[in-house]
Structure 1
Amino acid sequence: MKSLTTRFLMTCAAIGAASGVLLVPVNHISAIFAPTMPILYAGLVGFWLLGPVLGLALLRRPGAGVLTTLIAGLVNVPLTPFGPSAVVTCLMVGVAIEFGFAVTLYRIWRPWLFSTTTVGFTAIYAAMAYVSFDMASTAVAVQALFFVLMVGSAGLATWAGLVLAQRVAKTGVTRGLVRPMGA
Structure 2
Amino acid sequence: MARTAPLTTRVLLTCAAIGVATGALQAGAGALSGVIVATWPILYGLVLGIHVLPGVIAQELLRQPWVALLTHLIAALVASAVVPVWIGRYIGTAILIGLLQEGVAALTRYRRWEAWRFFVSAVVVGVVIGAAIWFAADVTQFREWQQVVYVALFVAGPIAWTAVGLGIGGALRRAGVRPQVSQPPSSEG
Following superposition, the deviation at residue 91 of structure 1 comes to 1.9
User: Is 2:81 aligned against 1:78?
Assistant: yes
Q: Give the whole-Å Cα distance in 2 for the aligned partners of 1:154 and 1:165.
A: 16
- Which amino acid letter does the alignment assign opposite residue 147 of structure 1? V
- Which amino acid letter does the alignment assign opposite residue 97 of structure 1? Q
CA displacement, residues 54-83 of structure 1 (integer Å, 9 cap, x when unaligned): 001110010110011010011122311313
Q: Secondary structure at the match of 2:86?
A: coil
Q: Would the aligned equivalents of 1:130 and 1:136 in 2 still touch at CA under 8 Å?
A: no
CA displacement, residues 5-34 of structure 1 (integer Å, 9 cap, x when unaligned): 100000000001110011111112324545
- Give the TM-score taking structure 1 as reference length: 0.89
Partner of 1:153: 157
- Which amino acid letter does the alignment assign opposite residue 50 of structure 1? L
Deviates more, 1:101-110 or 1:62-71: 101-110
Q: Give the whole-Å Cα distance in 2 for the aligned partners of 1:84 and 1:66.
A: 16
Q: Would the aligned equivalents of 2:11 and 2:179 in 1 still touch at CA under 8 Å?
A: no
Q: Would the aligned equivalents of 1:35 and 1:133 in 2 still touch at CA under 8 Å?
A: no
Identity over the aligned pairs, expressed in percent?
Answer: 31
Following superposition, the deviation at residue 141 of structure 1 comes to 1.4
User: Is 2:126 aligned against 1:114?
Assistant: no
Structure having the higher Rg: 2
Q: Give the whole-Å Cα distance in 2 for the aligned partners of 1:178 and 1:156.
A: 34
Partner of 1:56: 59
Q: Would the aligned equivalents of 1:59 and 1:177 in 2 still touch at CA under 8 Å?
A: no
Partner of 1:17: 20
Structure 2: any 5+ residue segments left out of the alignment? 184-189
Count of matched residue positions in the alignment of Structure 1 and Structure 2: 179
CA distance 1:65–1:143, change in 2 (3 Å): same
Following superposition, the deviation at residue 134 of structure 1 comes to 2.4
- Give the TM-score taking structure 2 as reference length: 0.86
Q: Would the aligned equivalents of 1:122 and 1:151 in 2 still touch at CA under 8 Å?
A: yes
